[in-house]
Structure 1
């Protein structure tokens, strides 16, 4: 038979079908962002989602707990943290930051025999790979750790027909897999593929040869690594396999490179269409003379990582996984610019549709999130584009200096400055340095980084409390110095601007130069023109930089306006500034963007409040920052949930209309005539006043200002910054509604990615409730309910959703309480029956006391009920009873001393004290009773014996 033509889609489908026929459940890939696992930056292996099963922590109500066999294709990212392939991407044929891991799994079901037989059958019989090109490894053992060679695996490979010289031993590094310092582990057996064939390539296995690559790893989880590093055999043994999808497709399509397969060719075609570049030719190293093939590989790899990570909630930022996403995007942007001469700002989003079309059927989340991914990619690219040109020019200066001096090394300070000033991640600068034959020094970079952070930390508090211009200083600027007011119109537009230094404000006076200021001294800059937004109207000030490239850089940490003058407060990172210097003003666009979202969101919320609650709603204050919006307004009482729901719904309807935002300076008298225009009561507005309208051109409003239709539009007097279209806001989620004073209410809401984040948290908690609901009644469910009750109270999510979750969770709590009462009542009866039954026996009718371990849990109510029965109905007799068990891990005890023994000097306090010494914990109560909870549940029977002995000695019997 002729060899079948395998497509990537066909390879994946066949893998699923093969194992599904063998009793495996097809499990969807988990998120590539492990939101509930802080130990992982990204999901980096197929086993991550099954980790709770291997660790034995999976809840019995979780569907996963029922799995015996599973098959999946897991989305994985290795770009940062312990596993980082970013530096290798593009340079070779088989490294990727994003990849798929095909896997089949056995959870205490089948083991080595089946795993090995099926591996060989699938590869050679179903996929039709040449057995002569396949090599397998087994664990060679480690005498120092008392680990025997895995001869069982070796023999199983031999039995399926693998030649002796294709079965190779491997060491702890290659053939013993461990989840971490502790936990499940075991030997593994790899399958390697020779892409050349017609030779014996055994000596090239595990030697990093690009033509002899590992394609599959069978892990035999049979031990547990204990805390003391010893290994203990597991009672249930598991199979965990992982096969690199891209590598397998490469083998089946008989390609020496993963990138030459149909996994990547659709992306290369799209890149060529977008850029007009020459076709991809799959050349590497020196053969790729113009570097364009390498750039194709980098861009194709990076759009995969970016799309899947953002779709699963890893939003670009400056921390953790968010910083990895930002680094990858900026690295890719620079490749696109340098090698494809592409315009940066919307490059990756043009490649996105090809990826969605190719992989959307298998991973529908990228179809659902496509528009959101596009917007985030464009925002990030646009922000980086602002400094890319200048950063590259600066790098060339540094590189020329290094080559001229003969050191061939970029200084750590230069590498850090390229990041700190121009946003070039350190690994991007290192890559650019490699291209120029230059080195970098990690230690020098770390020193520069720490030095900059310490300087920032030292002045931050001072800047926040920096003196504002007082009335005398404003008069001096106007009258004595006759300083013109600055032009701050550029604050309403995206992008950098240039200005000239007018004066330096020291906090007590004015100077013309910074040369006499001590290092790290906070001061203010006054410019003739600025794009920085000064704190006003509830919107926080911008932060950013004012600089002269490679001459001076001023870190702006706060911006204040007084008397029309704008003071940029901060400190000088390096260099010197003088009056008359022309500087670049660069506000932090990635911080400004969510502020814009929140400000436009505030206008929409204000409009929705009036629509739902009526005209008596007036703004009483607001705060708009990068995290949230806060809106204070007049209203007599708390807003009922149905009304709040309607307000949130109306706001989101407005947002999804994707209305354009219009603004214009209008004569105050004319602006006041616009029907429905909103303004802050008591606020003094300038003339002309800026009018901001959501969805209708201001000129159209002014044509017929009293038109009743304008009442349906959000129109406000506002000097803040806003989005261009409401769709950019994405969503508005109300997370708090409260009263702050008589007749004044407050709403706090999130927009954009912050809104999506709280929505994800709500969904996760909803799933958590479902899991708790399905748990059988018992200690596990009671503990889960107790913890979830606290977590739900502290959860910051949609107020409406929180109410819904609370209502739903209340039913769960009630079912647990009802069951507790039911069982408590039943156990009280069991306990009382056991004791009264003892006295009812003929031989015990005259007995004065009972001491014993009752057949109940650590149920304090049942013990109390026994004591109270005798205290009220059988006062003469004495009882000392115990509940709990070693299995339960809890013990309780209680004593009632009847009149028959109290008259002989027996006290509950002394007796309980003797028992407490054995079971631990404390006891308390008033004579003639005492009750306690112990900590040593394994000593209940010993405690019973001590109680008997104490009484015998006391009564001398």
Structure 2
């Protein structure tokens, strides 16, 4: 069977058992502050387990894109080394929300594996929870007894809390689990050693493929457990491992899930994959795995960056580049050529990559190109460092960490280059620096959330803010959260007019009146399905009726900017082309920011066309029609859906002229486009490879912006004595300035020549070295540099030191003859760092034979000359 057939059989099997087949959620998580990425199949159903939302279907099944490279679930360093760990993987899952429980889950998993997939029963083992006396948790007798109906008792193994008790996090739903393991060893090995001794022992051929989690408890902050009001089933089967078993392979990478990518990599590199543990074959596996994580995450709207989720993706990409650079001897971008292969392979199950293949390819190419330059410069930095450390033969840990953290240079590559040159790396120093960074990061992001104090068990927070900005409601629950040393108070209301931050639109602010007590809402956010109000304090009487009032002006101005993004998006596609797709936005009361896919700078002419088109639609005063429709019907209308967003079966459609703008959107909007008044661009620029950003304002803010620009023009006109042709007058002014600068530059150069001529006679012979050190009068640092460069060619075997007070700042230039650098080991940057910088309270650097410095202390320039002179003896 092919991988596609295996996946479809799973979905068809559970459809036959009454399960609704649902699509994968995006791999990037938007409304859960506890997670960056979907790392398990249950993430999209978290609200059902928490009781925050009522499911539309009590039985569902799916295949979910998952990513495990950060936090608790971090498999990155294992990937490619072994045969079964991955960054991005598919999790096949079947779910019961308060419907069936252990009996059915166990029976169906056994039926599918042994009767549909025909895995031999004598290759399977199962584990059940053995209990935990410290928490007074008994053995899972129910699961044990249900398994006895299908498998012999000697193949039912007891597992400890680590392996067989699943928890969502430090708090929340949890329960015992029952894993299914398969022994893939050859028959002779299985006969020689009993497979039960290898279960959960990290044997590469005795692997877990399915986990049945039985959620029946809720973990509280004090670590105690309470029974859940409804019991749930959460299962997950690793798709890649299942395919490996059914295709009779000894490695996940030998299946058709990965071999297509590996074959293309062979063609691109001219190397052969042999499936061994060699670094070359590890590189093939790393590339085949990592390109999936990179491509699908970018397709789900997460661009590589230097922070958060974007940094995780950048790390994965750079690890892949590092492997092909070092072990496949490829020095040019490679990964981008694999994106179309992957897109075609998954087009029927995850079509979002195929729909954006050129965009994703472009982003990956630019990231590769940039990192290859980083590798090249990093290698030069290490080589320079090793030349300076010939005595110790050690690359210090702080330097290795700086290369890794600041420049993105892989630590293992630093070790490899060092060892090839007879050096070692201070690994304890590197690890200490790394741990300090982790501690700082953990402290900066640590959130200590207390348990919810529940006043009402109503499961859903109802948003009514589309229709009204005030409501009378009740408090459902509240909690205190500590973050960055400060207390925050979070409140959940039964119904709320407050819009929670989503889709780029900021959350509402306002006031909650508990009787006569006013509590100010500073922000509103979503956590899964909960609408959480961030308050400045807790109510003294939580049971009192609540009058919730949104700050109206802020909401109205925000709505104007949100509606403007829809008009803008449509105009961008009309003027630039239908390849344009939204890649991020920020909508607030002050402005709008809109990121979109486009591979060139938007010209001034194009910006003018786009702006004119938006303003035309504003003047037409088009009614903004909002409908709730089944998703398929909305898409048939031509509604644009954003990549990386999770939509329900019924969606909200915002229409501004059916022939112009139809989008799926949960944000707040104006009633007619005329309410926007005026649309005006403020800026345009690049955000990342293939992504541009425009910023704009509407309404009174746009008028204020235009008036400010007009006022500046008026002031310029007045300054230039009201010329008839303002542009021509400014051009003449610029030309005159350029001409004068050239004259000044020529005069400065002549001054430096004269100064150099006067200094040649002041050279001193100190122990055979020609030393010239002077505090001189020059007007800029470039003049100081030119002075040194002019004299260095005339004075052999020299050390030249020139210092000057330039605009109240100390400036220094040091030149050392190449022969002295070699013979004496004198290096200009080192002397600057050790002898000059401390005196002038500054810093600097340069090449071994020439370096410059700048600092604050101008009264120490004579001491600088003396300090350098003293080196010569």
Aligned to 2:145: 155
- Cα 1:772–1:254, aligned 2, differ >3 Å: closer, same or farther? same
Residue 405 of structure 2 is aligned to residue 414 of structure 1: no
**Aligned counterpart in structure 2 of residue 241 of structure 1, from 226, 235, 243:** 235
Residue 368 of structure 2 is aligned to residue 392 of structure 1: no
Aligned to 1:440: 427
1:79 shift after superposition: 1.1
Residue 41 of structure 2 is aligned to residue 53 of structure 1: no
Residue 96 of structure 2 is aligned to residue 106 of structure 1: yes
Aligned to 2:160: 171
- Cα 1:416–1:152, aligned 2, differ >3 Å: closer, same or farther? same
Q: Deviations over 1:240-269 (max 9, x none)?
A: 000000001111111111111111110011
Q: Which stretch has the larger CA shift, 259-268 or 191-200? A: 191-200
Q: Deviations over 1:587-644 (max 9, x none)?
A: xxxxxxxxxxxxxxxxxxxxxxxxxxxxxxxxxxxxxxxxxxxxxxxxxxxx999999
Alpha-carbon distance between aligned partners in 2 of 1:423 and 1:22, rounded to the nearest angstrom: 50
Aligned to 2:576: 655
Q: Which runs of 5+ in 2 are unaligned?
A: 442-559, 581-597, 616-639, 655-665, 676-681, 683-692, 700-873
Task: State the secondary structure of the residue aligned to 2:303.
Answer: coil
Alpha-carbon distance between aligned partners in 2 of 1:123 and 1:730, rounded to the nearest angstrom: 59
- Cα 1:768–1:125, aligned 2, differ >3 Å: closer, same or farther? closer
Alpha-carbon distance between aligned partners in 2 of 1:452 and 1:113, rounded to the nearest angstrom: 47
Higher strand share: 2
Aligned to 1:282: 275
TM-score by length of 2: 0.51
Residue 214 of structure 2 is aligned to residue 226 of structure 1: no
The CA RMSD measured in Å over matched residues stands at 4.4
1:798 shift after superposition: 10
TM-score by length of 1: 0.47
Alpha-carbon distance between aligned partners in 2 of 1:31 and 1:313, rounded to the nearest angstrom: 9
Aligned to 1:424: 409
Alpha-carbon distance between aligned partners in 2 of 1:221 and 1:644, rounded to the nearest angstrom: 43
**Contact 1:416–1:426 (Cα < 8 Å) also in 2:** yes
Alpha-carbon distance between aligned partners in 2 of 1:452 and 1:184, rounded to the nearest angstrom: 30
Task: State the secondary structure of the residue aligned to 1:110.
Answer: coil
- Cα 1:327–1:91, aligned 2, differ >3 Å: closer, same or farther? same
Q: Deviations over 1:108-153 (max 9, x none)?
A: 1101000001111110111011111111000000122111100111
Alpha-carbon distance between aligned partners in 2 of 1:260 and 1:190, rounded to the nearest angstrom: 24
Aligned to 1:255: 249
1:656 shift after superposition: 2.8
Describe how 1:370-769 pairs up with structure 2 within 5 A. 370-395=357-382, 405=392, 410-419=395-404, 422-424=407-409, 440-441=427-428, 442-446=430-434, 649-656=570-577
Q: Which stretch has the larger CA shift, 167-176 or 373-382? A: 373-382
**Contact 1:190–1:217 (Cα < 8 Å) also in 2:** yes
**Contact 2:562–2:669 (Cα < 8 Å) also in 1:** no
**Contact 1:762–1:801 (Cα < 8 Å) also in 2:** no
Aligned to 2:356: 369
Alpha-carbon distance between aligned partners in 2 of 1:239 and 1:430, rounded to the nearest angstrom: 47
Aligned to 2:330: 342
Q: Deviations over 1:446-504 (max 9, x none)?
A: 48869999xxxxxxxxxxxxxxxxxxxxxxxxxxxxxxxxxxxxxxxxxxxxxxxxxxx
- Cα 1:109–1:765, aligned 2, differ >3 Å: closer, same or farther? closer
Task: State the secondary structure of the residue aligned to 2:62.
Answer: strand
**Contact 1:413–1:448 (Cα < 8 Å) also in 2:** no
Q: Deviations over 1:761-780 (max 9, x none)?
A: 8996997995899xxxxxxx
Residue 181 of structure 2 is aligned to residue 181 of structure 1: no
1:340 shift after superposition: 2.4
Q: Which runs of 5+ in 1 are unaligned?
A: 1-5, 454-638, 660-721, 739-758, 774-784, 804-957
Aligned to 1:14: 9
1:416 shift after superposition: 2.7
Q: Deviations over 1:925-957 (max 9, x none)?
A: xxxxxxxxxxxxxxxxxxxxxxxxxxxxxxxxx
Q: Deviations over 1:90-118 (max 9, x none)?
A: 11001111100000000111010000011
Q: Deviations over 1:9-56 (max 9, x none)?
A: 111000000000000010100000001112102110000000010001
- Cα 1:786–1:247, aligned 2, differ >3 Å: closer, same or farther? closer
**Aligned counterpart in structure 1 of residue 341 of structure 2, from 354, 379, 392:** 354
Q: Deviations over 1:354-382 (max 9, x none)?
A: 11111121001111121111111122122
**Aligned counterpart in structure 1 of residue 19 of structure 2, from 24, 49, 56:** 24
Residue 277 of structure 2 is aligned to residue 292 of structure 1: no
Alpha-carbon distance between aligned partners in 2 of 1:105 and 1:314, rounded to the nearest angstrom: 28
- Cα 1:369–1:158, aligned 2, differ >3 Å: closer, same or farther? same
Residue 38 of structure 2 is aligned to residue 43 of structure 1: yes
Alpha-carbon distance between aligned partners in 2 of 1:730 and 1:328, rounded to the nearest angstrom: 36
